[in-house]
Amino acid sequence: MKRRQSTGEYLAFLSAKYEVDSDKLFCALLSAGENRKSSCDKLLIECRGKTKDKVIFLITENSNVVAQLHLSKEFLSKQGNPLRNLLNTKMIRRYLTKQTEKIRPRCIRDLRPGMRHVNLKAEVLEVSRPKHVVTKYGNPASLAKALIADKTGTIKLCLWNDQIDSVSAGDTVQIENARVSTFRGEKQLSLGKNGTLNSIEDLKVQLMPADEPTVRT
């Protein structure tokens, strides 16, 4: 039977998810219990009531409800910070691992079928001629495949419709939030609805500061 998560473990998870220090979070809870309201970085904590044994807290972020918790007075009266010892639970480790995988750039050699949230920089070696296909939803589309490479290997990247004209052979591209699949036994990258593909040169232009306006006297 799956063990039920404790309220303390859930608080520790919130400190990891919202990137707030667990010591600050616990102190903010104590402060809210005494003064009705307190804040901890981007979180607002409000005491909504008390019973004989528990204190009820509402935690919000920018008016959005994060959690409503019933914390025992015994838990709140513990010496030190009881959350600190709960930051190494399996749930928190799993969550932090997923978050790291989302933002960690990968190299082509490490890509495996089924991976998602893949970010990497690569050079476009060639782009195949587009061909007309019908998607699994019955919609007509244009499909091309770009062969991309980094220092560790090569892989094909699926390009659909407008994506096809966005890159050319010789470009260096930044790929974000792609996924890895296989087609006829060969690994390939696809962007799906949430992935992005940008030329590094285009990104440089976007990041350059705009020219200062000329002031006539």
Which pLDDT does position 100 carry in this prediction?
Answer: 60
Q: Are residues 142 and 180 in the same domain?
A: yes
Q: Please state whether 41 falls in left (phi above 0), alpha (psi between -120 and 50) or beta.
A: left
Which pLDDT does position 137 carry in this prediction?
Answer: 76
Decide if pLDDT at 217 tops 60: no
**Residue 199 domain boundaries:** 104-207
Q: Are residues 75 and 115 in the same domain?
A: no
Whether 152 maps to a domain, the answer reads yes
How many residues are listed for the chain in this entry? 217
Q: Are residues 118 and 153 in the same domain?
A: yes
Answer yes or no: pTM beyond 0.95. no
Whether 214 maps to a domain, the answer reads no
Alpha-carbon distance 215 to 163, whole Å?
40
Mean pLDDT of the chain: 83
Whether 136 maps to a domain, the answer reads yes
Q: Which residue has the higher pLDDT, 37 or 102?
A: 37
Q: Which residues of 92-109 are buried (b: 16+ CB within 10 A; e: fewer)?
A: beeeeeeeeeeeeebebe
Q: Are residues 112 and 81 in the same domain?
A: no
Total tally of structural domains belonging to the chain: 2
Q: Are residues 136 and 180 in the same domain?
A: yes
Q: Is 187 helix (H, G, I), strand (E, B) or coil?
A: strand
Whether 164 maps to a domain, the answer reads yes
Whether 215 maps to a domain, the answer reads no
Q: What is the number of alpha carbons within 13 Å of residue 137 lying toward its C-beta?
A: 3
